[in-house]
Structure 1
Amino acid sequence: MGLGGPWDAPDYGPEHIDAAADAVEAALSIGITRFDHADIYGRGKSEGVFGELLVRDASLRARIQIQSKVGIRLGEAGGFGHYDLSGKAILDGVEGTLRRLRTDYLDLLLLHRPDPLLDPAEVGDAVARLLADGAIRAIGVSNMSAAQMDALQDHLPVRLAADQLELSLRHHAFAESAVLVNHGDGASVSFPHGTLEHCMRHGIELQAWSPLAGGRYTGRPPAEASDADRATSALVAELAAAKGVTPEAIVLGWLMRHPARIGPVIGSANPARIRACAGAEAVAEAMTRAEWFALFQTARGQRVP
């Protein structure tokens, strides 16, 4: 999302291409080979800059996977922004994405946001056409519940491959929904209970957007940081020092410790911050249940029931 310069800028320049190259090199240096896009990021400039990298290095495309998202329409010509998962919008969105990325296919296409006017049969026809044409190799969703995925799955020619949701130590409602079953406070949790379990049952990869919560616990606390935020930052720093890793590795490792094998989508385009995420997998493997719950309960500001 951060590639290509400011969203309100009309175009990108050579400096933005160089910055994107540095970010991609940092990612590759720590073993990241999948890159997440959306047709709206930078109003198309993020995909455009990445496409320049694919032209600059002809070997890069074969070494990476690219996923992108369609379905959000920004307010054009003063109109209201809205969601559009009509068949035509999906086909047109993928066509524009491939053109900007300078590639023939996406490894994975995600439907960006649930569209209340979505016609599952129409979506299924569009997806079938994209698969048959080789424009995409897999289909997934973003920000959808188990019920929404089930309704869509009935009309798709292949199984859904992924669901991308906001999941993090800060946005921990997915864990709240589990511990607050049969509890009065459960009604206050907005996360659609059963979504993680549905993905685990059906082999749907769970991806987490904003997994570092904007750096809230890794050195970039917001001005309105709460007591729980400050206590969590301190605990993250303590665990990082004890394990000889970065705070980023602790925060990501907490998320990846979940048996759903959640895959964090790192949003930063800063090479130093990207490299700071190295080691998260090892942290996840070694994190004890006590450490996981300590982080969770500190972040939620109270003990579990």
Structure 2
Amino acid sequence: MTAMDLHHDDVRAPRQTASPLVLGTMGWGTDGERSVRAAAALHAALAAGVGVLDTADIYGDGDSERAVGAALAGLAPQVRDGLRVQTKCGIVLPGTRPPGAAPGTCPAPTTRYDSSPHHLKASLAASLERLGTDRVDTLLIHRPDVLTPVEDTVRAFLAEREAGRVERLGVSNLPWERAQRFHTALRSLSADGTGLDCVQVELGLHHRALVEAAVLANHDDAVPTSGAATLPQWCADEGIALQAWGPLGQGRYTRRTTDEARSPEQEAAVVVEEIAERLGLPGEAVVLGWLRRLPWDVRPVVGTMDPGRIAACSRADDAAAALDHSDWYRLLTAARGVALP
């Protein structure tokens, strides 16, 4: 398959019943092989009803955004109009020059987080150029920049929204308190009172802090992260989409093993396989279904480029509906490696 195949009549707009999945594009690129794989991934995602693409300015040093732009350019207008694109800004990597830097600016000596007004404006302009568009649906602040007041970042975003270059604001990898400040500032400063569109965090069987903060309340094993137990329900109450990146844990729970001495992750993979076989569903669907079973409407960001795995992931809600209380807690216990108190 090539990018040109996306013009074919069998590629239509996402299904009317939209998938909760977000297609992650961190591994996309414009070289020959990755371009072909990206086209196949997008084809599979559209067939599964996925309506959101996720990228970032730093993914592949901008190559992910270029690949997304190329893929979108190959879509029929009615298909493209049914897709939302979100990108991120706010991280400057070592050895790179931030967008909009003055000539002769030295490369960054270390990673830093920058959501200053100047950086946001320059980053968004560079992203739009790479994406080959004049507007992106959602811009996420990638990491917390504690040196820039939240209100300054929000005002810069609103200026870009007023100019028609972006529609919504989201945040990524922020603690609940700072996400709340963004939401409050945005609602206060925007003319229409609109708040955050989405909050993106790492979440899955392998990265359970938000779940365990709720489950292990008032126990010595409770996760001490401030606001961790509050964030998911707050998002649900405020109508903010909670997106989970890395929800499959790099496939650690869907790989078969023949080792006699299994690690806790391998033991959990056995439980996933047993439940998947009983339910007649793919293992990936069970892993994501565990998240979807939560009352937080978690939206998994699936970064695989394998069409088969994308199709498997698209069964997540089938798995969520089939998992009972026993299954859900069995998966949690297996992933933890120790019983609940």
* Contact 1:268–1:274 under 8 Å retained in 2: yes
Separation of aligned partners in 1, 2:293 and 2:227: 19
- 1:31-50 residue CA offsets vs partner (Å, 9 max, x unmatched): 21211000100100011011
Distance 1:229 1:13, change over 3 A: closer
Q: TM-score normalized by structure 1?
A: 0.91
Unaligned runs of 5+ in 2: 1-25, 97-106
Supply the distance in 2 between the matched residues of 1:93 and 1:72 (Cα, whole angstroms). 10
Which SS does the other structure have where 1:264 is aligned? strand
Which of 106, 110, 115 is 1:85 aligned to?
Answer: 115
Matched, 1:228 2:264: yes
Match of 2:181 in 1: 151
2:40 is matched with which residue?
22
Percent identical across equivalent pairs? 38
Query: Aligned partner of 1:16: which letter?
Result: R
1:273 and 2:330 matched: no
Give the match for residue 18 of structure 2.
none
Q: Is the 8 A contact 1:173 1:190 kept in 2?
A: no
Deviations 1:239-298 (A, max 9, x none): 111111110000000011100010100011222222221211111122211111111111
Following TM superposition, by how much is the alpha carbon of 1:18 offset from its aligned partner in structure 2, in angstroms? 2.2
Amino acid across the alignment from 1:144: L
| 1:54 Cα deviation after fit | 2.1
Structure 1 residue 52: deviation in Å? 1.2
What is the correspondence of 1:130-279 to structure 2 with a 5 Å cutoff? 130-156=160-186, 157=190, 158-186=194-222, 192-219=228-255, 227-279=263-315
Q: Could you say which residue in structure 1 is the equivalent of 2:103?
A: none
Q: Please tell me whether the aligned partners of residues 243 and 298 of structure 2 are also in contact (alpha carbons under 8 angstroms).
A: yes
Tell me whether 1:98 sits opposite 2:123 in the alignment.
no
Alignment partner of 1:164: what SS? strand
Query: What's the offset of the Cα at 1:238?
Result: 0.7
Distance 1:122 1:93, change over 3 A: same
Cα distance in 1 for partners of 2:71, 2:336 equals 41
- Give the structure 1 partner of residue 339 of structure 2: 303
Q: Matched residue pairs, number?
A: 296
Moved over 6 A (4+): none
Q: Distance in 2 between matches of 1:255 and 1:287?
A: 11
Tell me, in whole angstroms, the C-alpha distance in 2 between the residues paired with 1:13 and 1:283. Answer: 36
Q: What's the TM-score, normalizing by structure 2?
A: 0.82
The equivalent position to 2:83 in structure 1, one of 58, 61, 64, is: 64
Decide whether the 8 Å contact of 2:176 with 2:227 is kept in 1.
Answer: no
Q: What's the C-alpha RMSD, in Å, of the aligned pairs?
A: 1.9
Distance in 2 between residues matched to 1:78 and 1:220, nearest whole Å: 42
Contact 2:244/2:300 (CA < 8 Å) preserved in 1?
Answer: yes
Match of 2:5 in 1: none
Q: Return 5+ residue gaps in structure 1 as ranges.
A: 5-11
What is the distance in 2 between the residues matched to 1:291 and 1:57?
A: 41
Partner of 1:126: 156
Name the SS of the counterpart of 1:110 in structure 2: strand
Residues 178-209 of structure 1 show CA distances to partners (whole Å, capped at 9, x for unaligned) of 12221122255688231112212211110000
Q: How does 1:27-42 map onto structure 2 within 5 Å?
A: 27-42=45-60
Change (3 A) 1:15 1:299: closer
Structure 2 CA distance, aligned partners of 1:134 and 1:58? Answer: 23
Q: Partner of 1:259: helix, strand, or coil?
A: coil
Cα-to-partner distance string for 1:134-162 (whole Å, 9 max, x where unaligned)? 21111110111221122223322230111
